[in-house]
Structure 1
Amino acid sequence: MENNNYFAEMMKSPMPRETEKTVMSEFIDSFLSDILYKKEKAALMEKIDLSLDQGDRTAFLALSDELNRLEKVYHTS
């Protein structure tokens, strides 16, 4: 009998379950976004280091601009 009451109460108020899913989805999105940002930044940093080693000023400036855009995109969202 208690199980039927519990089920009936849960069906009356589905908000906590929906809120939990939303919070979990936001966490997962944030987590994945952070991983993507770090991966893209690391790749750009390697390319920047290589351009510095090779003395390629043009590539360095272009890659630095790309890194700045990446920083703005991920830190303003």
Structure 2
Amino acid sequence: MENNNYFAEMMKSPMPREKEKTVISEFIDSFLSDILYKKEKAALMEKIDRSLDQGDRSAFIALSDELNRLEKTYQAS
């Protein structure tokens, strides 16, 4: 009987649910960040490929630098 009272009191407490929401929120943030990174990387890779096909050296260098910055930013977070 004492265990039932403990359970009822724990269910009233918002703390476990808040922690669960925090973990879920962190997972969602991480998931969305990963999707955004992959989308930006794919777009840059397409632009890099296009610049190579067109022989545009300056665009290739600028886009490669941008890709390197994106990868460093993503690895840092």
TM-score by length of 2: 0.86
Deviations 1:9-64 (CA, angstroms, capped at 9, x unpaired): 322x3221111000000000000000000000000000000000011000000000
Runs of 4+ aligned residues of structure 1 deviating over 4 Å after TM superposition are none
Identity value in percent: 82
The one-letter code of the counterpart of 1:70 is L
2:43 alignment partner in structure 1? 43
2:31 alignment partner in structure 1? 31
Cα RMSD (Å) of the superposition?
1.6
Q: Which runs of 5+ in 1 are unaligned?
A: none
Q: Which runs of 5+ in 2 are unaligned?
A: none
The one-letter code of the counterpart of 2:37 is Y
Correspondence 1:69 to 2:69: yes
Correspondence 1:60 to 2:21: no
Aligned length: 73
1:24 is paired with a residue whose SS is helix
TM-score by length of 1: 0.86
